[in-house]
Structure 1
Amino acid sequence: MVTTTIDVSAGGDYPVKVGSGLMGELPGLLGPRVHRILVVHPRALRSTGEVVREDLAAAGYEALAAEIPDAEEAKHIQVAGFCWQILGQSDFTRSDAIVCVGGGAVTDLGGFVAATWLRGIRYVNIPTTVLGMVDAAVGGKTGINTAEGKNLVGAFHAPAGVLVDTDVLATLPEHELFTGLAEAVKCGFIADPAILELIEGADRAELARHDSPVLREIIERTIAVKAAVVSEDFGEAGRREILNYGHTLGHAIERAERYQWRHGAAVAAGMMFAGELSTMVKNLDPAVVDRQRAILTKLGLPTNYRADKWPQLLDTMRRDKKARGSLLRFVVLEDLARPAVVEVPDTSLLFTAYQAIGTEAPVTRLG
């Protein structure tokens, strides 16, 4: 399989390499000065993390491992402190590096540790989920959660490179693969409709195959969208905000569910809310919202959430890092591939939009 390289220029220039059997590319991304490497991996990927550590040791590096909790449980200050302790006890210097092996939570946490150790050391992301490949591993956003909300503490710190090896998707459960594709759907609606056509034109079995050319193209196109946006606006001062389509409500749903929902499942419901809001504030054609619902339903992703949770969700959104003072900000669509950011002072407008996706019945989570 030919390796595709997507270049990113955001906080530094680095490549995202997409292909199979990419471990041989890792030393080149780490650079000639690195001596010590900490491989950060979740408990569920113990064997994979150990293989990466052993390969690095065989290549002459002093390679250590930090096993962290799975999923969002990893994104806590105590886990970051555990990693800092290893770095300190092992005398890591600014010329050493971290390798993050895992999904979005691991790259968020590992990148944050790299950003804060000695005010910034090199790190390389090796995402093992679709979500990590198309979103979290690319762009240099790192962070941890607090009791008050998701990703409220973090830093912008670009990786030295990203290795997207699609072979690792062979063992990924189908539901996790499809929840990761929620971020691809997002990029299709905000920037590249060809992504939507690929999903609509393929059956679920083809989308779920790790070696499917369709899945590979979806992954590459989604990475290309994110690379283009973050290269234009690394620090989220403007255009990068469009990548938050569906995320304001999505993050609130994650917190309401105590992070037992997959990120992509929560974002899917958030996109439906954003779509309904778009019809109200930007006169978006309802057919675009219907298309969004159909695509998410095809992937088995939720398009509704509990109506009774609205007061709790609104309270969480008020504390979202995207808010400005008392104004809530949302990414909406003026049309397909025409996103905009709006400030909504009238919460009754938000409540009306939420009624379109609110359901009295419990919503089955994915994950």
Structure 2
Amino acid sequence: MSAPVVVLIGPMGVGKSTVGRLLADRLGTGYRDTDEDIVTAQGRSVADIFVDEGEAAFRALEKEAVRTALAGHRGVLALGGGAVLDADTRARLAGHHVVYLSMDVEEAVKRTGLNAARPLLAVNPRKQWRELMEARRGLYEEAASVTVATDGRTPEDVAQAVLDALAPHIAPTAGEPSPQTRPEDAVADPVTRIAVGGSAGSEPYEVLVGHQLLGELGTLIGTAAQRVAVIHPEALAETGEALRADLAGQGYEAVAIQVPNAEEAKTAEVAAYCWKALGQSGFTRTDVLVGVGGGATTDLAGFVAATWLRGVRWIAIPTTVLAMVDAAVGGKTGINTAEGKNLVGSFHPPAGVLCDLAALESLPVNDYVSGLAEVIKAGFIADPVILDLIEADPDAARTPAGPHTAELIVRSIRVKADVVSSDLKEAGRREILNYGHTLGHAIEKNERYKWRHGAAVAIGMHFAAELGRLAGRLDDATADRHRSVLESVGLPLHYRHDQWPRLLENMKVDKKSRGDLLRFVVLDGLAKPAVLEGPDPAVLLAAYGEVGE
């Protein structure tokens, strides 16, 4: 059973989230917050739960969230301010490395303002904060193995103080810097671990981003598997065979299944070929499938894993920007048909994703730039820092050697991980990830899937921005920013004007459509995605007028 490397406790506003993320980065591990888990699972804020159902109902949810996280998370874990009130929770914390972050009331005033957004501080907040601390301080101290005062310290100083205090007790994991070592002093590149799922009915898993990650593969496969099948495209024949040979050397019965390159792999015929190979290999429920390659390969591998014996475990090793930030994360698997893209598929999350940045170094520039469309999409729908980084040096953003490559990929993955963790099966919020994809998929179908996905999505985002502007939803500055950012990295903005009737028909079979009602993801502002249903055909045509050439 896995266990957190550090558990942070303390009052509201003490900075557990900020310090926790800093600790996770310095330790090369993942970060998790039980309050965030509850919000994701319930689809509403902590304050709303308090108002709608009362504190007792929230504490029951909190107790279960802590139990789940303590049993399944091996990184840095932050608990809500009142989690220690529960005796069972305090008992579960025994044996863990628990750090109590403390602060006095004056510091609390500075940091939180003691405002009514905190559900337990709505009336006479200063007095109530003192009473809360009088009731809880002893419980924090009882549960903690270390106490670190945060008064007058920056989050960076607090994080280092935690590492210094725990240094004698924490054994660093292989390939990670020791807790007392600052990142700038570490020899090995840090590995970023991003948690996905675990609170929406799916098993949690991690996306690892860094270098030399194949050593993690055996751990992900586990000891229950006897056979491993490596699905790879023709273009990565040497990589697929090397991976198969390495797994065979570890004692697995390993086979390599070569499939066509790019979208040509995503057909029922190719899936059937993979099923046949699995059947001939005697593949069972406890065996594991590995998909190595771009987004098309990981889509296919996941679909084959979802359908063989009604679902076997699989691991994604994406080798392109597109696959790392989009296709390999979230559990959406699928194949194409003559009628459209990804119309046949299943939600089947992987057991883990290994994003080895070294794979990007040999990626053709057009493929690398194409993947940036999904990175830019993440910037517009959720994380504008991505846009800032690209705009600061567009030429550097076009190459894996750029100074911000790792950060751009990690930020993009975190956007998707946050969304899919709360909406695995696209019942609601997950739709925002399709920003630019309604027209983009229509273009791909019109081009018989010969176009790069990112190029089509770039045009789709340009169209969505103009549609949002004309519908009165999006401001001019943000709409214009789409053109400038996409163009700065070399992504296309235009498509043939005479193809509008065919594109309109293609969009009618888009997964977001409901009957004859077209639905588009648009922006109500930067990082404010929303859905536009049934727009006026004249507005659609006018928006495409800005795209067509």
Q: Same fold (TM over 0.5)?
A: yes
Residue among 328, 339, 345 paired with 1:137: 328
* 1:201 counterpart residue number: 392
Residue among 167, 175, 182 paired with 2:373: 182
Normalised TM-score (structure 2): 0.64
Is it true that 1:2 corresponds to 2:193 in the alignment? no
Change in CA separation of 1:121 and 1:209 when aligned onto 2, cut-off 3 Å: same
Residue among 86, 89, 105 paired with 2:296: 105
* 2:455 counterpart residue number: 265
Deviations 1:93-123 (A, max 9, x none): 1100110000000000010000000110000
**Residues 512, 518 of structure 2: 8 Å contact kept:** yes
Residue among 238, 245, 255 paired with 2:445: 255
Give the deviation of 1:290 after TM superposition: 1.1
Q: Distance in 1 between matches of 2:488 and 2:226?
A: 47
Deviations 1:246-288 (A, max 9, x none): 0000000011111111000000000000000101224311111
Give the deviation of 1:82 after TM superposition: 0.2
Share of identical aligned residues, percent? Answer: 60
Question: Residues 114-133 of structure 1: matches in 2 within 5 Å?
Answer: 114-133=305-324
Question: Residues 249-328 of structure 1: matches in 2 within 5 Å?
Answer: 249-328=439-518
Corresponding residue SS for 1:305: coil
* 2:220 counterpart residue number: 29
Change in CA separation of 1:3 and 1:330 when aligned onto 2, cut-off 3 Å: same
Q: Which range moves more in the overlay, 340-349 or 31-40?
A: 340-349
Corresponding residue SS for 1:358: coil
Change in CA separation of 1:164 and 1:340 when aligned onto 2, cut-off 3 Å: same
**Residues 398, 489 of structure 2: 8 Å contact kept:** no
Q: Which has the higher contact order (CA 8 A, sep 6+)?
A: 1
Q: Distance in 2 between matches of 1:189 and 1:126?
A: 26
Change in CA separation of 1:295 and 1:85 when aligned onto 2, cut-off 3 Å: same
**Residues 98, 122 of structure 1: 8 Å contact kept:** yes
* 2:520 counterpart residue number: 330
Give the deviation of 1:211 after TM superposition: 4.4
Which runs of 4 or more aligned residues in structure 1 lie more than 6 Å from their structure 2 counterparts after TM superposition? none
Give the deviation of 1:345 after TM superposition: 4.9
Tell me which amino acid in the other structure corresponds to 1:174.
V
Q: Distance in 2 between matches of 1:345 and 1:276?
A: 13
**Residues 397, 489 of structure 2: 8 Å contact kept:** no
Q: Distance in 1 between matches of 2:287 and 2:455?
A: 36
Change in CA separation of 1:37 and 1:282 when aligned onto 2, cut-off 3 Å: farther
Residue among 241, 244, 247 paired with 2:431: 241
Give the deviation of 1:32 after TM superposition: 1.8
Tell me which amino acid in the other structure corresponds to 2:529.
P
Query: Alpha carbon RMSD of aligned pairs, Å?
Result: 1.0
Give the unaligned 5+ runs of structure 1: 360-367
Structure richer in strand, relative to its length: 1
Q: Distance in 1 between matches of 2:194 and 2:308?
A: 28
Q: Distance in 2 between matches of 1:54 and 1:328?
A: 49
Question: Residues 60-71 of structure 1: matches in 2 within 5 Å?
Answer: 60-71=251-262
Give the deviation of 1:344 after TM superposition: 1.5
Give the deviation of 1:203 after TM superposition: 3.9
Q: What is the count of residue pairs matched by the alignment?
A: 358
Tell me which amino acid in the other structure corresponds to 1:324.
R
Give the unaligned 5+ runs of structure 2: 1-188
* 2:161 counterpart residue number: none
